[in-house]
Copies of this chain bind each other. A is one copy, B any other.
Amino acid sequence: MVDPKRGSLLALTMLVLQKYGGSSVADLERIRACADRCVATANANGGLIVVVSAMKGETNRLIAMANALVQGASEDASGDPGQGDYVTAARRSAEHDRELDQLVATGEKVSAALLAMAIGDRGGRAVSLAGHQLGMHTDRSFTRAKITDISEQRIRAELAQGRVVVCAGFQGIDDRGDITTLGRGGSDTSAVALAAALRADVCEILTDVDGVYTTDPRLVPRAQKVHAMSYDEMLELASLGAKVLQIRSVAFAKKYGVRVHVRSSLHDGPGTMIVAPEEVARIRGERGTPSMEAIEVSGVALQRDEAKVTLVDVPDVPGVIAEVFGALGSGGVSVDMILQNASRNQRTDITFTVGNADLEAATEVLGRLRPGGESLTLETDRAIAKISIVGLGLRSHAEVAARVFSVLATENINVQMVSNSELKMSVVVQERYGELALRSLHSAFGLDAPT
């Protein structure tokens, strides 16, 4: 077989993978625009694999039908479809989940076939491949399947024929040939996994933003696009709510060293490269980012969806803290920051944050506990904001913490909680100061765009 990266006949120089999200294929006009871009990319590079999501709204339409069919389920498929699970928990069964996957996977098949037709109409040559054709093998965890293996033969053969290979994202097959899906946002994972298996030179995530920004431009108008960022930084930013890439796909990219390029589907300008740290340094150097010694902060994020819980004056004896967090875990409450004050007379305060949506469950769980035989005194506060600074090697720079505290002190903002890790430093402040803290820190760490 001809190796498409070295193809003797076609002299392919680069193998590019492009992923188009649901809004990029939302209607026929946008599908035509994608087709134009595919043709141009294929002409410029030689080899092109495309991964598409379902047309915007289609997945929800299909899920709404499934939910409405099943007695007792809500006819309303709203909620935030971008987050977490999309299965109506009440009716969950292995059979139902299997059918749900057979159902929703059709959305990506439709957009893949339409895009392939449009490329043909634009003078290109293309073939669409659905889950069972593109060799995406998964386990049998319907609605949240894990990729086990990718058979690349069919894709390689189509590339060798000079075709753009348009893959239906989000789906695979298990070893019985049943359709599985990779969970919400799974098309990102499809894209990165295919880029890894086919050893693509780059995995382009084409989206409706220009790239990854130093912070949310709606909050900080002087936010800048980041030229390059390491996988770990992107993981931290994604966990802080940056929606540009699904977390799992970033972890996958890191594991297999896939170079990811997040860029606009509307223009050709460069976006943000998500790559290994060495390449981050190289790209930043090329683009004139400050010297190696400067603190490399990639972004600052503000989260307002957490609440703070303080357990006042609890016995500081072994087992109490384990009982508290064990009970929260069993109760399905996930805890973010945890802070324990120094002990006085074997009593201490414990403070932690949870998602606002989990606060009620947390207080209920804790209300039932009697650690060391006494009930707990709780203080809760929803009016908090968390600001996080993300960058390579933050922890090694003691000055980062100093600068954070100094900036916030200058603004008279009291810091309620602090945590830091290799890549991230987070502070909790009163909610009303959240945006001010964000803007001040964004500026202090040199992230503001030149005026």
Contacts and interface: CB of A to CB of B under 8 A. Distances in A.
A154 B132 CA distance: 16
Contacts of A154: 176-177
A190 B177 CA distance: 20
A112 B116 contact: no
Given A102-B112, A114-B103, A121-B71, A130 B179 contact: yes
Given A28-B69, A32-B69, A68-B28, A128 B99 contact: yes
Interface residues of A, number: 42
A98 to B, nearest CB: 7
Contacts of A194: none
Contacts of A69: 28, 31-32, 114, 117-118, 121
B68 A127 contact: no
A98 B114 CA distance: 11
A241 to B, nearest CB: 33
A106 interface: yes
Contact of A121 (B70, B110, B113, B177): B70
Contact of A177 (B96, B120, B132): B132
A133 interface: yes
A91 B70 CA distance: 41
A199 interface: no
Interface string A48-76: 00000000000000100110111100000
B126 A95 contact: yes
- The secondary structure that dominates the A interface is helix
Contacts of A117: 66, 69-70, 96, 99-100, 103
A66 B69 CA distance: 29
B103 A109 contact: yes
A106 to B, nearest CB: 4
A178 interface: yes
Interface string A269-312: 00000000000000000000000000000000000000000000
A109 B112 contact: no
Interface of A: 28, 31-32, 62, 65-66, 68-71, 91, 93, 95-96, 98-100, 102-103, 106, 109-110, 112-114, 116-118, 120-121, 125-128, 130, 132-133, 154, 176-179
